[in-house]
Amino acid sequence: MVEEQSANLRPRGKELVELLDSLGQVLAEPVLADRNFPPFPRATRDGYAVRAADLAQLPATLSVIGEIKAGAAADATFKIESGQAAAIMTGAPAPPGSDAVVMVEYTSRAADQVTITKGIAAGDNIVPIASEAKRGDKLLSPGVRLDHAAIAVVASVGRPRLLVYSKPRVAILSTGDEVVDIDVPLAPNQIRNSNSYSLAAQIQSAGGEPVLLPIAPDEPERLRELIADGLEADLLLLTGGVSMGKYDLVEQVLAQFQAEFFFTGAQIQPGRPVVFGRVPCGAGAPAREGASAPGDHTYFFGLPGNPVSTMVTFELFTRPVLEALAGMTPRKLVFLHARLKSEIKTKLGLKRFLPAILSGEFEQAEVELVRWQGSGDIAATAAANCYAVIPPDRERIAAGEWVPLLVR
Ligand code: AMP
Ligand code: MG
């Protein structure tokens, strides 16, 4: 089943983008070294290019036969012979005959003589030609999400444009009779729709393109229409309406689209009622663009409506699926660890993801829970910067214990 699923969880297509616009996009082609890296033996310090063997006896005095700055031709007209040195700058090609660079800090210069007070091993402060990569080597593989370091690699091989996977379009459908748009006056019994916006931000940060649908009431006909619209996207996210309440209709309406449910709950808090499944394309819903093969499906999540539940379940369950649709090479979720500042007491039974503040520096990472009113407390969660993960079998965790953190 896993293979069958992953065949469906594929990107829609490829497009050419400017390197300057490529941050966060997923590479759709291999990036090869167009030359050797480095293209010449590169000095990594300002100092003197020498033959290391000349420094067996210290101090050693060598005659300086020239100067090589960054940008100098790699085939310098002189060769370093025994007893000789050349002044050299960081980034310059080490001249033939030299095998090390002595840092200028360990030298003193008088006219064309340099006296060196510290020994050195052959190879020190020189990066050999082609030691980072040979011409033709693969530097980046398709599926890499472009961060600043990957962008540096693309720039270094002289590519102002590159092929990336098209971003998956992710439909967001918030549900609930009490939920209203953020730009209209609201009655005291109504709640502004924050989930569509937090989800849009999470989708963007995971490499997708959010498509906001109108808010669905807790009424099957209109919900059905909007779900049908949402199934035209590459992934559909619903929020609300997945709990056990009388008006929690999402699963029931999805079932009308021949939905297959992979799970309808998780032993976590917040986020327990989270639902994941897929709908065969054409089952009462228009086929999504590019999904023509028989057996194609559109995947959906029913995320719980409580704002923090929505946020946490997206990170745990939706982000990996979205990354697959974006063409990213699969990876595991990464949890950091920090010491607990003060004791935590909680209830047994569910794995908890509690908003917390990670602070400290270097080897002193510390974490403290924020005070909150439960999974509707957006303000407390916004003041936090991570979630402390509490295992289901711990009622009490003492100050000073290490706890895993889901960082956002
Ligand atoms: P539900 O999962 O539909 O039972 O909703 C759980 C809680 O989340 C209720 O208090 C809802 O009012 C709230 N809620 C549901 N949808 C949203 C939304 N889009 N934005 C903000 N709060 C919501
Ligand atoms: Mg609801």
3-state secondary structure of 383: helix
Question: What is the reported pTM?
Answer: 0.92
Q: Per-residue confidence at 3, pLDDT binned at 50, 70, 90?
A: very low
Is the distance from the beta carbon of residue 176 to the nearest atom of ligand 1 less than 6 Å? Answer: yes
Ligand 2 centroid from CA 320, angstroms: 25
Q: For residue range 298-339, list pLDDT tens digits in order.
A: 999 999 999 999 999 999 999 999 999 999 999 999 999 999
Scored b (16 or more CB within 10 A) or e, 255-285 reads ebbebeeeeeebebbbbbbbbbbbbbbbeeb
Question: How many Cβ atoms from other residues are within 10 Å of residue 333's Cβ?
Answer: 10
* Cis amide bond preceding 59, omega within 30: yes
Mean pLDDT, the chain, rounded, equals: 94
Is the distance from the beta carbon of residue 306 to the nearest atom of ligand 1 less than 6 Å? Answer: yes
Q: H/E/C letters for each residue in 164-195? A: EECCCEEEEEEECCCEECCCCCCCCCCEECCH
Q: Per-residue confidence at 284, pLDDT binned at 50, 70, 90?
A: low
Q: Per-residue confidence at 286, pLDDT binned at 50, 70, 90?
A: low
DSSP lists the bridge partners of residue 402 as 339
Q: For residue range 48-106, list pLDDT tens digits in order.
A: 999 999 999 999 999 999 999 999 887 667 899 999 999 999 999 999 999 999 999 99
pLDDT at 148 over 50: yes
Is the distance from the beta carbon of residue 307 to the nearest atom of ligand 1 less than 6 Å? Answer: yes
Q: What is the pLDDT of residue 77?
A: 72
CA distance 268 to 341: 23
The angle at the Cα of 273, spanning 271 to 278, to the nearest 5 degrees, equals 110
Mean pLDDT, rounded, for 357-378: 95
Q: What is the pLDDT of residue 82?
A: 98
Q: For residue range 375-407, list pLDDT tens digits in order.
A: 999 999 999 999 999 999 999 999 999 999 999
Residue to probe by mutation, ligand 1, list 192, 239, 269, most atoms within 8 Å of CB: 239
Q: What is the pLDDT of residue 4?
A: 46
pLDDT at 5 over 70: no
Is the distance from the beta carbon of residue 376 to the nearest atom of ligand 1 less than 6 Å? Answer: yes
pLDDT at 294 over 90: no
Is the distance from the beta carbon of residue 5 to the nearest atom of ligand 1 less than 6 Å? Answer: no
pLDDT at 288 over 80: no
Q: Output DSSP code: residue 39.
A: S
Is the distance from the beta carbon of residue 305 to the nearest atom of ligand 1 less than 6 Å? Answer: yes
Q: Of all helices (H) and strands (E), which one includes residue 237?
A: strand 235-239
Q: What is the pLDDT of residue 9?
A: 86
The angle at the Cα of 330, spanning 327 to 331, to the nearest 5 degrees, equals 135
Q: Of all helices (H) and strands (E), which one includes residue 86?
A: strand 84-88
Q: What is the pLDDT of residue 74?
A: 73
Q: Per-residue confidence at 361, pLDDT binned at 50, 70, 90?
A: confident
Q: Nearest to residue 310, comparing CAs of 263, 359, 274, 344?
A: 274
3-state secondary structure of 201: helix
- Cα of 60 vs its chain's centroid, Å: 51
Pair type for strands 113-116 and 107-110: antiparallel
Q: For residue range 152-184, list pLDDT tens digits in order.
A: 999 999 999 999 999 999 999 999 999 999 999
Sign of CA dihedral 41, 43, 48, 52: negative
Q: Per-residue confidence at 289, pLDDT binned at 50, 70, 90?
A: low
Q: Output DSSP code: residue 55.
A: G
Q: What is the pLDDT of residue 7?
A: 56
Ligand 2 centroid from CA 262, angstroms: 22
Q: Nearest to residue 85, comparing CAs of 54, 106, 57?
A: 54
